[in-house]
Amino acid sequence: MANVPKELRYTREHEWAKLEGTSVRVGITAYAQEQLGDVVFVELPKVGAQVAAHQPFGVVESVKAVSDLFAPVSGRVAEVNGDLPNAPEAVNQDPYGRGWMIVVAPSAAGDWEQLLTAEQYEQFLAEGGH
């Protein structure tokens, strides 16, 4: 079973979200990177861009597949992981650490509560993950 850290929240599209003060850091889960295989390209929004919960904010590509990245919460992009374009393999090597993608300054408080808890996400994976 893929690693699902307890302190994070999750989407059904396999992004993780981490509350840092009032901001939310976002990446894809260990399960997601395993399914994708070798990540060779990551396309992220610019700082200042608006993202909407459950809407695509970027793209991750493995050798074989192109996948949208979905925002866990709505808000403004406050930070972007500028290392990923040159080192997309960090998404495979350290999906919850160096493989982070963006930090969002949320615009709506309610989004966070809609996200899956670690237990719910584990249950979701146990049911097949889609």
Query: What are the residues binding other proteins (CB under 8 A)?
Result: 37-38, 40-41, 43, 59, 61-64, 66, 85
Question: Based on CB atoms, which residue is closest to other proteins, 58 or 106?
Answer: 58
Nearer to other proteins, 61 or 122 (CB): 61
- Going by the DSSP 8-state scheme, the letter that residue 81 receives in this structure is -
- What span, in angstroms and rounded, lies between the C-alpha atoms of 29 and 40? 16
Smallest gap, in angstroms, from Cβ of residue 40 to other proteins?
Answer: 4
CA dist 10 and 25 (Å) reads 11
Please identify, using beta-carbon distances, which residue of 38 and 119 lies nearer to other proteins. Answer: 38
The least distance separating other proteins from the CB of residue 20, rounded to whole angstroms, comes to: 28
- Position 33: which residue type? Q
DSSP H or E run through 3: none
Question: Residue 9 Cβ, how far from other proteins at the closest point, in Å?
Answer: 28
In this complex, which beta carbon is closest to other proteins, that of residue 32 or of residue 115? 32
Q: Please state, in angstroms and rounded to a whole number, the distance separating the CA atoms of residues 64 and 76.
A: 31
Q: What is the four-CA torsion angle of 86, 52, 55, 5, rounded to 10 degrees?
A: 70
